[in-house]
Amino acid sequence: MFRKSNESNRDVATSEELLVIVDRAVNPYLVMFHDPSSYRAEQVRSLRNKLIAMNPDGEAKTLVVTSAMTAEGKSVVAINRALAFAELERQSVLLVDSDLRNPSVEDYLHLNPHPGFGDVLLERVSIRDAIRSSGVRNLSVIGAGTRLAAPSELLTTSRIDAIMSRLKEDYRYVIFDTPPVLPATDASVLAARADGTLVTVRLERSTRAMTRDAIRNLQDLGANVLGAFVTEVRGRDPESDPRFSYRGAEEEF
Ligand SMILES: Nc1ncnc2c1ncn2[C@@H]1O[C@H](COP(=O)(O)OP(=O)(O)OP(=O)(O)O)[C@@H](O)[C@H]1O
Ligand SMILES: [Mg+2]
Protein backbone atom coordinates (compact mmCIF):
# COMPACT_ATOMS: atom_id res chain seq x y z
CA MET A 1 0.00 0.00 0.00
CA PHE A 2 1.19 3.51 -0.74
CA ARG A 3 1.92 5.51 2.34
CA LYS A 4 1.86 9.25 2.37
CA SER A 5 5.00 10.57 4.00
CA ASN A 6 4.80 13.43 6.46
CA GLU A 7 8.54 13.70 6.64
CA SER A 8 10.47 16.65 5.35
CA ASN A 9 11.94 16.42 1.86
CA ARG A 10 15.39 15.87 3.27
CA ASP A 11 14.22 12.92 5.40
CA VAL A 12 12.28 11.51 2.54
CA ALA A 13 15.41 11.56 0.45
CA THR A 14 17.32 9.51 3.02
CA SER A 15 14.52 7.10 3.95
CA GLU A 16 15.41 3.48 3.20
CA GLU A 17 11.79 2.71 2.34
CA LEU A 18 11.81 4.94 -0.67
CA LEU A 19 12.33 3.88 -4.21
CA VAL A 20 14.85 6.35 -5.57
CA ILE A 21 14.90 6.99 -9.28
CA VAL A 22 17.84 8.95 -10.50
CA ASP A 23 17.22 10.65 -13.81
CA ARG A 24 20.62 11.47 -15.19
CA ALA A 25 19.92 14.47 -17.36
CA VAL A 26 21.90 15.17 -20.48
CA ASN A 27 24.48 17.83 -19.73
CA PRO A 28 22.90 21.16 -20.71
CA TYR A 29 25.99 22.19 -22.67
CA LEU A 30 25.63 19.22 -24.99
CA VAL A 31 23.46 21.43 -27.17
CA MET A 32 23.60 19.13 -30.19
CA PHE A 33 21.65 16.63 -28.07
CA HIS A 34 19.16 18.61 -26.11
CA ASP A 35 18.73 21.85 -28.05
CA PRO A 36 19.71 21.17 -31.67
CA SER A 37 17.83 24.16 -33.05
CA SER A 38 19.44 26.69 -30.70
CA TYR A 39 21.84 29.46 -31.60
CA ARG A 40 24.61 27.59 -29.77
CA ALA A 41 24.02 24.43 -31.79
CA GLU A 42 24.21 26.55 -34.95
CA GLN A 43 27.59 27.86 -33.78
CA VAL A 44 28.80 24.28 -33.47
CA ARG A 45 27.51 23.51 -36.98
CA SER A 46 29.15 26.63 -38.30
CA LEU A 47 32.56 25.45 -37.07
CA ARG A 48 31.83 22.00 -38.50
CA ASN A 49 31.06 23.57 -41.86
CA LYS A 50 34.30 25.52 -41.78
CA LEU A 51 36.23 22.34 -41.07
CA ILE A 52 34.46 20.58 -43.93
CA ALA A 53 35.25 23.51 -46.24
CA MET A 54 38.91 23.14 -45.27
CA ASN A 55 38.71 19.54 -46.45
CA PRO A 56 37.21 19.85 -49.95
CA ASP A 57 38.29 16.37 -51.06
CA GLY A 58 36.47 14.80 -48.11
CA GLU A 59 39.55 12.90 -46.98
CA ALA A 60 39.47 11.13 -43.63
CA LYS A 61 40.75 13.45 -40.94
CA THR A 62 41.81 13.21 -37.32
CA LEU A 63 41.04 16.12 -35.01
CA VAL A 64 42.29 16.69 -31.49
CA VAL A 65 40.28 18.80 -29.06
CA THR A 66 42.25 20.19 -26.17
CA SER A 67 42.74 23.22 -23.92
CA ALA A 68 45.40 24.82 -21.76
CA MET A 69 43.91 23.89 -18.40
CA THR A 70 41.41 21.48 -16.86
CA ALA A 71 37.65 22.01 -17.02
CA GLU A 72 37.62 24.36 -19.99
CA GLY A 73 34.89 22.41 -21.76
CA LYS A 74 37.06 20.16 -23.98
CA SER A 75 34.93 17.05 -23.62
CA VAL A 76 31.69 18.91 -24.22
CA VAL A 77 33.15 20.61 -27.28
CA ALA A 78 34.53 17.29 -28.59
CA ILE A 79 31.14 15.57 -28.18
CA ASN A 80 29.18 18.46 -29.69
CA ARG A 81 31.61 18.51 -32.60
CA ALA A 82 31.28 14.75 -33.14
CA LEU A 83 27.47 15.00 -33.04
CA ALA A 84 27.55 17.86 -35.54
CA PHE A 85 29.58 15.80 -38.02
CA ALA A 86 27.41 12.75 -37.38
CA GLU A 87 24.17 14.53 -38.27
CA LEU A 88 25.33 14.84 -41.86
CA GLU A 89 24.45 12.08 -44.29
CA ARG A 90 27.14 9.53 -45.06
CA GLN A 91 29.55 10.81 -42.43
CA SER A 92 31.04 8.07 -40.31
CA VAL A 93 32.39 9.67 -37.18
CA LEU A 94 34.42 8.23 -34.32
CA LEU A 95 34.91 9.92 -30.98
CA VAL A 96 37.89 8.69 -28.95
CA ASP A 97 38.30 9.46 -25.26
CA SER A 98 42.07 9.76 -25.05
CA ASP A 99 41.91 11.51 -21.69
CA LEU A 100 43.12 8.47 -19.78
CA ARG A 101 43.72 10.46 -16.60
CA ASN A 102 40.25 11.94 -16.26
CA PRO A 103 37.95 10.31 -18.81
CA SER A 104 34.39 11.53 -19.29
CA VAL A 105 33.01 10.70 -22.75
CA GLU A 106 31.20 7.53 -21.65
CA ASP A 107 29.75 9.38 -18.67
CA TYR A 108 28.49 12.25 -20.78
CA LEU A 109 26.94 9.83 -23.28
CA HIS A 110 25.54 7.62 -20.50
CA LEU A 111 27.42 4.58 -21.75
CA ASN A 112 28.63 1.83 -19.44
CA PRO A 113 32.39 1.44 -19.13
CA HIS A 114 33.91 -0.79 -21.80
CA PRO A 115 37.47 -1.64 -22.82
CA GLY A 116 38.76 1.43 -24.62
CA PHE A 117 41.72 3.52 -25.67
CA GLY A 118 43.83 2.63 -22.61
CA ASP A 119 43.34 -1.06 -23.36
CA VAL A 120 44.31 -0.53 -27.01
CA LEU A 121 47.53 1.16 -25.87
CA LEU A 122 48.18 -1.71 -23.46
CA GLU A 123 47.49 -4.12 -26.36
CA ARG A 124 44.81 -5.85 -24.31
CA VAL A 125 42.15 -5.41 -27.00
CA SER A 126 42.17 -4.71 -30.72
CA ILE A 127 40.97 -1.38 -32.04
CA ARG A 128 37.98 -3.16 -33.55
CA ASP A 129 36.96 -4.55 -30.15
CA ALA A 130 37.29 -1.16 -28.49
CA ILE A 131 34.89 0.52 -30.94
CA ARG A 132 31.28 0.71 -29.78
CA SER A 133 28.07 2.29 -30.90
CA SER A 134 27.15 5.60 -29.29
CA GLY A 135 23.43 5.13 -29.82
CA VAL A 136 23.51 8.05 -32.25
CA ARG A 137 23.40 7.40 -36.00
CA ASN A 138 26.82 7.66 -37.70
CA LEU A 139 28.67 8.07 -34.41
CA SER A 140 30.89 5.40 -32.87
CA VAL A 141 32.92 5.74 -29.71
CA ILE A 142 36.11 4.43 -28.19
CA GLY A 143 35.88 5.16 -24.49
CA ALA A 144 38.90 5.57 -22.27
CA GLY A 145 38.82 2.02 -20.87
CA THR A 146 41.62 1.30 -18.42
CA ARG A 147 42.95 4.49 -16.87
CA LEU A 148 46.67 5.02 -17.15
CA ALA A 149 48.76 7.15 -14.83
CA ALA A 150 51.39 7.96 -17.45
CA PRO A 151 49.83 7.42 -20.89
CA SER A 152 52.53 9.41 -22.68
CA GLU A 153 54.93 6.49 -22.14
CA LEU A 154 52.70 4.40 -24.42
CA LEU A 155 51.87 7.19 -26.84
CA THR A 156 54.85 6.71 -29.10
CA THR A 157 54.85 8.34 -32.52
CA SER A 158 54.75 5.05 -34.40
CA ARG A 159 51.94 3.78 -32.17
CA ILE A 160 49.83 6.89 -32.67
CA ASP A 161 50.45 6.87 -36.43
CA ALA A 162 49.39 3.22 -36.64
CA ILE A 163 46.21 3.84 -34.62
CA MET A 164 45.27 6.98 -36.50
CA SER A 165 45.78 5.52 -39.95
CA ARG A 166 43.83 2.38 -38.97
CA LEU A 167 40.91 4.52 -37.73
CA LYS A 168 40.95 6.66 -40.88
CA GLU A 169 40.31 3.52 -42.95
CA ASP A 170 36.79 3.31 -41.51
CA TYR A 171 35.87 6.83 -40.39
CA ARG A 172 35.70 10.18 -42.17
CA TYR A 173 36.26 12.17 -38.98
CA VAL A 174 38.03 10.86 -35.89
CA ILE A 175 37.85 13.23 -32.92
CA PHE A 176 40.12 12.82 -29.91
CA ASP A 177 39.11 14.27 -26.55
CA THR A 178 42.34 14.80 -24.61
CA PRO A 179 43.71 16.02 -21.27
CA PRO A 180 44.74 19.66 -20.98
CA VAL A 181 48.07 20.67 -22.54
CA LEU A 182 49.87 22.42 -19.71
CA PRO A 183 49.58 19.79 -16.94
CA ALA A 184 50.29 16.76 -19.20
CA THR A 185 52.05 16.01 -22.49
CA ASP A 186 49.50 13.50 -23.86
CA ALA A 187 47.48 16.05 -25.83
CA SER A 188 50.53 17.61 -27.48
CA VAL A 189 51.87 14.21 -28.50
CA LEU A 190 48.53 13.22 -30.05
CA ALA A 191 48.04 16.64 -31.63
CA ALA A 192 51.46 16.44 -33.26
CA ARG A 193 50.27 13.41 -35.28
CA ALA A 194 46.66 14.54 -35.91
CA ASP A 195 45.52 16.45 -38.98
CA GLY A 196 44.17 19.33 -36.94
CA THR A 197 43.80 20.61 -33.40
CA LEU A 198 41.12 22.78 -31.83
CA VAL A 199 41.84 24.59 -28.60
CA THR A 200 38.97 25.19 -26.21
CA VAL A 201 39.30 28.39 -24.22
CA ARG A 202 37.05 29.06 -21.26
CA LEU A 203 37.33 32.71 -20.38
CA GLU A 204 37.61 33.04 -16.59
CA ARG A 205 39.32 29.67 -16.38
CA SER A 206 42.59 30.13 -18.26
CA THR A 207 44.57 33.32 -18.68
CA ARG A 208 45.69 34.65 -22.01
CA ALA A 209 49.27 33.64 -21.15
CA MET A 210 48.21 30.06 -20.40
CA THR A 211 46.38 29.75 -23.69
CA ARG A 212 49.33 31.26 -25.54
CA ASP A 213 51.73 28.83 -23.84
CA ALA A 214 49.49 25.90 -24.66
CA ILE A 215 49.25 26.86 -28.34
CA ARG A 216 53.01 27.41 -28.53
CA ASN A 217 53.55 24.05 -26.86
CA LEU A 218 51.31 22.35 -29.40
CA GLN A 219 52.91 24.10 -32.36
CA ASP A 220 56.45 23.42 -31.14
CA LEU A 221 55.68 19.72 -31.31
CA GLY A 222 54.27 20.10 -34.81
CA ALA A 223 50.53 20.35 -34.19
CA ASN A 224 48.39 22.03 -36.82
CA VAL A 225 46.35 24.36 -34.60
CA LEU A 226 43.26 25.24 -36.62
CA GLY A 227 41.59 27.57 -34.17
CA ALA A 228 40.00 28.09 -30.81
CA PHE A 229 36.50 27.53 -29.49
CA VAL A 230 35.81 30.13 -26.83
CA THR A 231 33.19 29.55 -24.15
CA GLU A 232 31.70 31.71 -21.41
CA VAL A 233 32.00 34.90 -23.38
CA ARG A 234 30.48 37.73 -21.36
CA GLY A 235 27.89 40.04 -22.83
CA ARG A 236 24.37 39.79 -24.04
CA ASP A 237 23.24 36.19 -24.46
CA PRO A 238 22.53 35.71 -28.17
CA GLU A 239 19.78 33.23 -27.28
CA SER A 240 17.75 36.11 -25.89
CA ASP A 241 18.37 38.36 -28.88
CA PRO A 242 15.42 38.00 -31.28
CA ARG A 243 17.65 38.84 -34.26
CA PHE A 244 19.40 35.47 -33.75
CA SER A 245 16.18 33.51 -33.40
CA TYR A 246 14.98 31.45 -36.31
CA ARG A 247 12.64 29.28 -34.34
CA GLY A 248 9.46 30.99 -35.49
CA ALA A 249 9.76 29.44 -38.91
CA GLU A 250 10.08 25.95 -37.47
CA GLU A 251 7.11 26.27 -35.21
CA GLU A 252 4.83 26.87 -38.17
CA PHE A 253 5.41 23.40 -39.57
N1 LIG B 1 30.11 26.36 -22.69
C2 LIG B 1 30.13 26.12 -21.37
N3 LIG B 1 29.84 27.10 -20.49
C4 LIG B 1 29.84 26.85 -19.17
N5 LIG B 1 30.13 25.65 -18.62
C6 LIG B 1 30.43 24.63 -19.44
C7 LIG B 1 30.47 24.82 -20.87
N8 LIG B 1 30.82 23.63 -21.43
C9 LIG B 1 30.98 22.76 -20.40
N10 LIG B 1 30.74 23.36 -19.22
C11 LIG B 1 30.81 22.73 -17.90
O12 LIG B 1 32.14 22.78 -17.47
C13 LIG B 1 32.51 21.56 -16.82
C14 LIG B 1 33.69 20.97 -17.54
O15 LIG B 1 33.32 20.62 -18.86
P16 LIG B 1 34.13 19.50 -19.64
O17 LIG B 1 34.06 18.20 -18.93
O18 LIG B 1 33.69 19.52 -21.05
O19 LIG B 1 35.59 20.12 -19.49
P20 LIG B 1 37.00 19.48 -19.78
O21 LIG B 1 37.89 20.57 -20.27
O22 LIG B 1 36.85 18.28 -20.64
O23 LIG B 1 37.43 19.04 -18.31
P24 LIG B 1 38.68 18.08 -17.94
O25 LIG B 1 39.91 18.94 -18.06
O26 LIG B 1 38.38 17.68 -16.53
O27 LIG B 1 38.68 16.95 -18.91
C28 LIG B 1 31.29 20.68 -16.85
O29 LIG B 1 30.64 20.78 -15.61
C30 LIG B 1 30.44 21.25 -17.95
O31 LIG B 1 29.06 21.08 -17.68
MG1 LIG C 1 37.44 16.34 -20.39
> Which amino acid residue places its CA nearest to atom 3 of ligand 1?
232
pLDDT confidence of residue 33: 87
pLDDT confidence of residue 27: 85
Q: How far is the CA of 125 from the centre of ligand 2 (A)?
A: 23
Residue 7 Cβ < 6 Å to ligand 1? no
Q: Can you tell me the distance from the alpha carbon of 241 to that of 251, in angstroms, rounded to the nearest whole number?
A: 18
pLDDT confidence of residue 229: 87
Q: Do the Cβ atoms of 119 and 146 come closer than 8 Å? A: yes
Q: How far is the CA of 129 from the centre of ligand 2 (A)?
A: 23
Where does residue 243 rank: exposed (0-12), middle (13-18), buried (19+ CB within 10 A)?
A: exposed
Q: Can you tell me the distance from the alpha carbon of 174 to that of 238, in angstroms, rounded to the nearest whole number?
A: 30
Backbone angles phi and psi of 241, in degrees to 5: -95, 115
> Which amino acid residue places its CA nearest to atom 1 of ligand 1?
231
**Ligand number nearest to the C-alpha of 108:** 1
- Could you identify the atom of ligand 1 that is nearest to the CA of residue 29? 8
Q: How far is the CA of 76 from the centre of ligand 1 (A)?
A: 6
> Which amino acid residue places its CA nearest to atom 29 of ligand 1?
71
Q: What is the pLDDT along the chain (253 residues), one digit of tens a residue?
A: 444 444 444 443 444 556 655 455 678 889 998 889 998 899 999 999 999 999 999 999 999 999 999 999 999 999 999 999 999 988 899 999 999 999 999 999 999 999 999 999 999 999 999 999 999 999 999 999 999 989 988 999 999 999 999 999 999 999 999 999 999 999 999 999 999 999 999 988 888 899 999 999 999 999 999 999 887 766 555 555 555 454 444 433 3
pLDDT confidence of residue 244: 47
> Which amino acid residue places its CA nearest to atom 4 of ligand 1?
232
Q: How far is the CA of 188 from the centre of ligand 2 (A)?
A: 15
Amino acid identity for residue 20 in this structure: V
pLDDT confidence of residue 205: 83
Q: What angle do CA 45, 77, 227 make, to 5 degrees?
A: 75
pTM comes to 0.86
Domains of the chain: 31-233 (3.40.50.300)
Residue 73 Cβ < 6 Å to ligand 1? yes
Q: How far is the CA of 128 from the centre of ligand 2 (A)?
A: 24
pLDDT confidence of residue 203: 85
